[in-house]
């Protein structure tokens, strides 16, 4: 794993050992960040199922003002903290179920990354909780990675959809 662009470009990250984390492939990450590049400077980001932290760390490298990392796995957060130290960056890290995280975070985010385990179908609940708490800025996006093409729910629209083999990345915004 490495940082693709920005102030930490080319820096190698501490890898995650184990079967439970499926890091976003570099080609997927590069494409997603090309799409988001104009939105990143100065934005707040929530990396909701952060795993190795690759999406949030890439966001920091590319100018995000703040990233909140969250994962249910304490092992994942330990890797994120090691990578933050390696990059000499600071960020908030929470060890919560995504529901508890969405219920407890404060403020609004310009981007919410959601890359849950593929076996979990949480999109509807995630969008509902995000809307209920009004967690997105006016033009904010929920970037959701999945194996299937996801459909928008009430109050949301699918702004963009990208396919990368088995991986689908859906960009949702409020209507």
The mean pLDDT of 69-77, rounded to a whole number, is 95
In a domain, 12, yes or no: no
In a domain, 91, yes or no: yes
In a domain, 124, yes or no: yes
In a domain, 68, yes or no: yes
**Hey, CA dihedral for 30, 33, 35, 41, is it positive or negative?**
negative
* Domain count along the chain: 1
- Dihedral of CA atoms 61, 64, 70, 75 in degrees, nearest 10, equals 10
Q: Supply 149's token pair.
A: 């093409």
Q: To the nearest whole percent, how much of the chain has pLDDT over 90?
A: 80
What pLDDT, on the 0 to 100 scale, is given for residue 21? 58
In a domain, 3, yes or no: no
What pLDDT, on the 0 to 100 scale, is given for residue 19? 53
Range of the domain at 61: 26-32+39-174
Query: Taking a C-beta distance cutoff of 8 angstroms, is the pair 115, 46 a contact?
Result: no
In a domain, 119, yes or no: yes
Q: Supply 6's token pair.
A: 């920005």
CATH assignment at residue 60: 3.40.50.150
Please give the mean pLDDT across all residues of the chain. 93
Instruction: Give the pLDDT confidence of 13-27 residue by residue, as tens digits.
Output: 988 765 555 667 778
In a domain, 11, yes or no: no
In a domain, 47, yes or no: yes
């Amino acid at each position: 794993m490495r940082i693709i662009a920005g102030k930490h470009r080319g820096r190698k990250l501490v890898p995650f050992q184990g079967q439970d984390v499926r890091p976003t492939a570099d080609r997927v990450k590069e494409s997603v960040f090309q799409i988001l590049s104009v939105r990143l400077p100065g934005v707040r980001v929530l990396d909701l199922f952060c795993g190795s932290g690759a999406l949030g760390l890439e966001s920091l490298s590319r100018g995000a003002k703040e990233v909140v990392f969250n994962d249910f796995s304490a092992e994942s957060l330990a890797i994120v903290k090691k990578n933050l130290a390696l990059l000499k960056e600071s960020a908030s890290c929470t060890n919560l179920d995504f529901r508890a995280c969405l219920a407890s975070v404060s403020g609004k985010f310009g981007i919410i990354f959601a890359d849950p385990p593929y076996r979990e179908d949480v999109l509807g609940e995630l969008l509902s909780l995000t809307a209920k708490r009004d967690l997105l800025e006016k033009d904010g996006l929920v970037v959701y990675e999945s194996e299937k093409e996801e459909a928008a729910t009430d109050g949301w629209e699918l702004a963009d959809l990208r396919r990368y083999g088995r991986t689908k990345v859906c960009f949702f915004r409020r209507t």
